[in-house]
Amino acid sequence: MPDQLGPQLNLILAPNKETMDITINDGGTLRAGIVLSADQLSQTLTAMVQIRGQMSPEVPTKFPENPSPRVLRGTHFHFAVDGPSGELVLSLRDPGLGWLSLRFDAKLLERMLGIARAAKGKKAADGGAKH
């Protein structure tokens, strides 16, 4: 997260993919550094999330009425059915964000299909005009 006017925080995955280096550099001089294992990083992230939950401004919990979806370039996806529950699992992978898995039961899928059909019907009723 470089800032040309101040210290730079560098996050580097080690070649063995078992640890990561966090360094703080200032003007080309190493000011501080730490090596974290995957478990240590997980604990650090958990602690950071807890602290963030206490900070201001609060973490948004509602989406805007008509959110504009963010374009995810290079996103991969995978569909599967969870055996025990029978739910459809949609997993999305963004190169910067990692994997996100969403579970959909039949009732939710039917609701989503109804919304899509209603939107398609509204678009056809409007003559396909864009607003």
Q: Which two tokens stand for residue 32?
A: 């501080």
Q: Give all strands of the β-sheet with 88-94 in edge-to-edge order.
A: 76-81, 88-94, 98-104
Count: domains in the chain: 2
pLDDT of residue 129 exceeding 60, the answer is no
- Is residue 94 one of the residues assigned to a domain? yes
pLDDT of residue 109 exceeding 70, the answer is yes
pTM summary value: 0.46
Angle at 66 between CA 61 and CA 67, to 5 degrees: 60
- Is residue 35 one of the residues assigned to a domain? yes
Q: Which two tokens stand for residue 37?
A: 């294992």
- Is residue 102 one of the residues assigned to a domain? yes
pLDDT of residue 124 exceeding 70, the answer is no
Q: Tokens 């005009």 appear where? A: 129
19 vs 74, more confident: 19
Domain that holds residue 107: 76-125
20: left (phi over 0), alpha (psi -120 to 50) or beta: beta
